[in-house]
Structure 1
Amino acid sequence: MPSSTHFAERLATLAKTHANHPALIDRHVSTSYSELHRQVGQLAGNLATLGIKPHDRVAIWLPNCLAWIQSFLACAHLGATVLAVNTRFRSKEVADIIERGKADWLIMWPDFKGIAFAEILADVEQQVLKRLRAVITLGDPDSPAINAIAARKLNVHNFDAQLNAPCPPPEPFGNAGVLCFTTSGTTSLPKFVLHDHVSLITHGDGMKAAYGYDEHSRIFASAPFCGAFGFCTLSGGLVTGSTVVCEPVSDTDSTLEQIERHRITHTYANNESILKLFETASSPKVFESCRLFGFAVFSPAITNLLEQAERNHVALTGLYGSSEMQALVAAQPIDPSQGDISVRYLAGGRLIHPGARVRVRDPESGQILPNGESGEIEINSPSHMVGYLDNPEATAKAVTDDGYFKTGDLGYCVSDRQFVFQTRMGDSFRLSGFLVNPAEIEQVVETLPGVKACQVVGATLGTKILPVAFVILQSGASAQPESWTAECKRRMAGFKVPVRFEVLTEFPSITSANAVKIQKHKMREMADRLLASENY
């Protein structure tokens, strides 16, 4: 495999060595490496003509599709930084990415899947949109949705026109920050996690070695490309000459169809999604092409995944990753020569890069702990982020003096390369697969009529985590759960909207020597009981 750690150079090499080999299969339509190289070069040339230049910031608001990959690779060629936007985001979140992320350009698909992207954009204040130099849109250029965007006094360009018009690309820009994931982190505002060409491609090469990719591998990417889990599934295949299979929207039935039709060898998903595949498949024969399924633990209550994997004859292993370190940075070993296989079905893993190291620190004493003792996981790996975009203070706080990333996760070491993840140390929780900081939701709820204060927790119902909001009302106010829910749906992604609002006169708390601390664990217990007594 070529040693270049620049996306443009790597793609150019693969266009020669794997010319007719499928790079991507999107909705059953195949695109070869040579064709993808031609498309990306042409798109890069036209985007440069529009005015996209090195260090510009381009927000990509697209589902998993060929256009997402073409857009990302064209921006990488030009030295622009991609701000990856979740298609489930609503006005407040999109505005935040445009404003704090300092987006110069926006690429979007206004008519995708009936989602009212134009209306969401219309709900973003004009003052925020003013910084956009243009919006590049997929779809019919005369559609009402695209006309509505133009009516916001925004420059609009058609994506297909930029893709298809002959135009030679400029010389590739050198290594630079190329991709930003958004993460909730531990503060009230999401952080933008910046990676460059070197960290992303080095990690892709590491995945090839660790997960056994070759030119016969077919990797199904169901997680959104906008997040580390989905992007690393994509990049690990794309930069190493394998074939990536995707579709804009995946569910259990469509995934099973893709596995059978395209002879999928690898896929990675949360444990709940993989369990559904095993339970829904008509027979183990569906999975006969599969070499490895990797899972991340998003639903801790699931206990029968191993049993189902064995019944369906699928090799299964636990995974670990983060936006800062990239997804799939660790996987529990299957081969005893690679590590302790007794913890194979637990989250965490053996770091895939030979030079990477893990350690665990006592959060109170600051001492490094011996193997088997739980503390905060710290990792040093070549997949490490460049830093938090425009936030050197947060970057400095997240990294130790000797280069280890402080994950904020609780776990224990098995060796200096293998560990077990146990839980998040803070109050963040996963909703629909996305790590969410409750402060994001609390900020919105506290602006609602009648609400004085809010605390949000993740409640467990069966195998799912659902957000529950506890509120204290303003004097004389009454609860308005229906209108509160409607406003939350307008301003936030649906998975962040509280499933219940519970009014309290005060939040449970404890007074320590330093402060009055709200006891979220007590509210989680209350929320669990509330949901158990209702039908959700």
Structure 2
Amino acid sequence: MNTVPVSTAIADTFAAHLDALAAADPARAMLIDPDGAVSAAELRARAAALAAGLSRLGLQPGQRVAIWLPNCAAWVESFLACARLGALALAVNTRFRALEVADILGRGKADWLIFWPGFKGIDFQGILDEVPAEALARLRGVIAIDAAHGRMNDAAPAAPTTLDAPAAATGRHALPRHRYAELRACADAPPPAQANAGVLCFTTSGTTSKPKFVLHDQRTLLAHGAAVARAFGYGLATRVLASAPFCGAFGFSTLVSGLAQGAPVVCSPVFDAAASAREIREHAVTHTYANNEALTGIMRAAAPGDLASARLFGFASFTPALDGMLELAREQDVPLTGLYGSSELQALAAGQPTTPARGDVSARLLPGGALVHPEARVRARDPDSGAVLPLGQSGELEIRSPSLMLGYLDNPEATARAFTDDGYFKTGDLGYALSEQQFVFQARMGDSLRLAGFLVNPAEIEQVVESLPGVRACQVVGATRADKTVPYAFVLLQPGARADAAGWTAACKAVMAGFKVPAGFTALDAFPSIESANSVKIQKHRLREMAEALLATP
């Protein structure tokens, strides 16, 4: 595939970048959703018109707009309009309910809300009714997508003109509600584009505490998209499938890699593995990035020839003990590579190399990767001594990269704690460096185990347990017994299997050092988990609490 060099002089703002794309090739498709293709010229015009409509409402630079939408053209248009106006977009997952929405609207200090009342039959109005009044106090109005907006929402009711206020005792006031389609049809001249500034906030997963708001500016987002396009070989024929929600770093980095290159991005409001396989065939998709569960689903659902256009599919391993992905990829000739990223670094910050020119290809199917920015650097630090470790030794990964966040919104103390004195981000991840630009991710530091003086990746133990009779999946955590940390295993059983703690213990002793053998086994119906924008994440802290209680019981 002939690649097209991405300009090193990437624009500072999305408005300037859209201007350049529309001038260079106005008819080129930029987005493809169920309503059809949106060209570069159309996307530029829609974003400018929406910005004009929002400006007429009174939206000012520096105000904050919560975007509570699925993957669709309206999400992209809303973000681009915010960027033009100098407003800050707060990305909200459509799976969130009253507690999470209240947190983002309240702590995020949202001035405006853009949402889709009829999406997937979800009672978004009911969810908003359950949001405490104090979380809505700053809102000036809401913008609703209704039946007039495209085929995707034919069944949605027309949007009322105000957000209904519950009983007066709640202290709420009626909020003006505006129709998205009318704002996007605004004929006013668009306001001048604002200069580069903070434009997008992701929320961290918040599995153990309240999520933090991760702030990125326009220049950094665009430059990262261009770096991803270079690193993963985008060219004239590149088409990208957005398999993850735009509201999370994974999905947004996929989107911006296409926007930065001028490569069409295929998206759907709801992920469906079989539909994604058909879209890959229909639109000749070359690249997609997803968690291993989603990619496995796509490959299992694909008919012969559906994935023939694949040039590189990247994966992040979020779902434990998911078998078959690598075998399916080999059978269907799908090129795979492991990925790494975070809200703070942006997703796709690293991908394992597919050619020796970019690094050690033997690590291709391991999480982690070669950093996509040539000037980025990685190292591992011993969490106990504080010493920077030699290559190959496991410690906390620290990364310095042009893709790094501006900081945590409204939280300078947390921002300061997240960085070393020389500008490296403390990832909180366990791993080891293969070079100053390539590394292998092993686990979250909070999930790693210090056993008998050795730092142990729990995945090492989990893989052994998952090979035992009757075990479908395993999660290993550390717990205290007699003032020492010991591993404890929670398992999911194969259908019809029965727990065999004694047999499993004996089998582990035969193949592992004694300090790695789980001190106990407990079978669960499911692992405790929480949904993030990218996946369902297992709550290890709850498993640790359960293990502590079990070991404390005589």
TM range (shorter): 0.7 to 0.9
CA contact (8 A) 1:84 1:179 kept: yes
For residues 463-492 of structure 1, the C-alpha deviation after alignment (integer angstroms, 9 at most, x for no partner) is 9xxxxxxxxxxxxxxxxxxxxxxxx99x99
Q: TM-score, normalised by structure 1?
A: 0.80
Corresponding letter in the other structure for 1:398: A
Q: 1:492 to 1:269 in 2, by over 3 A?
A: closer
**Among residues 211, 214, 225, which one is paired with 1:193 in the alignment?**
214
Corresponding letter in the other structure for 2:403: S
Q: In structure 2, how many angstroms separate the alpha carbons of the residues matched to 1:458 and 1:53?
A: 53
**Among residues 13, 17, 26, which one is paired with 2:20 in the alignment?**
13
Map 1:33-72; keep pairs closer than 5 Å. Answer: 33-72=40-79
Per the alignment, residue 228 of structure 1 pairs with 249
Per the alignment, residue 454 of structure 1 pairs with none
Q: The residue matched to 1:390 in structure 2 has which SS?
A: coil
TM-fit CA distance, 1:70: 0.3
Per the alignment, residue 381 of structure 1 pairs with 401
Gaps of 5+ in 2: 1-6, 149-155, 167-173, 449-487, 495-528
Q: 1:253 to 1:459 in 2, by over 3 A?
A: farther
Per the alignment, residue 93 of structure 1 pairs with 100
CA contact (8 A) 2:238 2:286 kept: yes
Gaps of 5+ in 1: 429-456, 464-487, 500-506, 509-517, 527-536
CA contact (8 A) 2:162 2:176 kept: no
Per the alignment, residue 110 of structure 1 pairs with 117
> Higher mean Cα deviation, 157-166 or 126-135?
126-135
Q: In structure 2, how many angstroms separate the alpha carbons of the residues matched to 1:347 and 1:12?
A: 37
TM-fit CA distance, 1:169: 1.1
For residues 58-80 of structure 1, the C-alpha deviation after alignment (integer angstroms, 9 at most, x for no partner) is 00000000000000000000110
Q: In structure 2, how many angstroms separate the alpha carbons of the residues matched to 1:404 and 1:87?
A: 33
Do structure 1's residue 361 and structure 2's residue 381 form an aligned pair?
Answer: yes
TM-fit CA distance, 1:140: 4.3
Per the alignment, residue 81 of structure 1 pairs with 88
Do structure 1's residue 149 and structure 2's residue 163 form an aligned pair?
Answer: yes
TM-fit CA distance, 1:360: 0.3
Do structure 1's residue 124 and structure 2's residue 131 form an aligned pair?
Answer: yes
Per the alignment, residue 195 of structure 2 pairs with 174
Q: In structure 1, how many angstroms separate the alpha carbons of the residues matched to 2:205 and 2:316?
A: 18
CA contact (8 A) 1:78 1:170 kept: yes
Per the alignment, residue 165 of structure 1 pairs with 186
Q: TM-score, normalised by structure 2?
A: 0.77
Q: The residue matched to 1:157 in structure 2 has which SS?
A: strand
Map 1:418-433; keep pairs closer than 5 Å. Answer: 418-426=438-446
Q: 1:34 to 1:498 in 2, by over 3 A?
A: closer
Per the alignment, residue 320 of structure 2 pairs with 300
Q: 1:497 to 1:314 in 2, by over 3 A?
A: closer
Runs of 4+ in 1 over 6 A off after TM superposition: 495-499
Q: In structure 2, how many angstroms separate the alpha carbons of the residues matched to 1:410 and 1:462?
A: 28
Q: In structure 1, how many angstroms separate the alpha carbons of the residues matched to 2:340 and 2:394?
A: 16
Per the alignment, residue 263 of structure 2 pairs with 242
Q: In structure 2, how many angstroms separate the alpha carbons of the residues matched to 1:234 and 1:524?
A: 44
Q: 1:144 to 1:118 in 2, by over 3 A?
A: farther
Q: 1:364 to 1:185 in 2, by over 3 A?
A: farther
CA contact (8 A) 2:161 2:178 kept: no
Q: In structure 2, how many angstroms separate the alpha carbons of the residues matched to 1:523 and 1:24?
A: 50
Corresponding letter in the other structure for 1:294: G
Do structure 1's residue 263 and structure 2's residue 284 form an aligned pair?
Answer: yes
Q: 1:498 to 1:342 in 2, by over 3 A?
A: closer
Q: 1:259 to 1:181 in 2, by over 3 A?
A: same
CA contact (8 A) 1:122 1:149 kept: no
Q: The residue matched to 1:11 in structure 2 has which SS?
A: helix
Per the alignment, residue 417 of structure 1 pairs with 437
Do structure 1's residue 3 and structure 2's residue 10 form an aligned pair?
Answer: yes
Map 1:120-519; keep pairs closer than 5 Å. Answer: 120-140=127-147, 143=157, 146=160, 149-151=163-165, 153-185=174-206, 188-283=209-304, 285-426=305-446, 461=492, 519=544
TM-fit CA distance, 1:496: 7.9
Aligned residues: 455
Q: The residue matched to 1:286 in structure 2 has which SS?
A: coil
Per the alignment, residue 478 of structure 2 pairs with none
Per the alignment, residue 485 of structure 1 pairs with none
TM-fit CA distance, 1:524: 10
TM-fit CA distance, 1:305: 2.3
CA RMSD of aligned residues (A): 2.8
For residues 21-59 of structure 1, the C-alpha deviation after alignment (integer angstroms, 9 at most, x for no partner) is 000001150000001101111111111111111110000
Q: In structure 1, how many angstroms separate the alpha carbons of the residues matched to 2:532 and 2:382?
A: 36
Q: The residue matched to 2:261 in structure 1 has which SS?
A: coil
CA contact (8 A) 1:91 1:492 kept: no
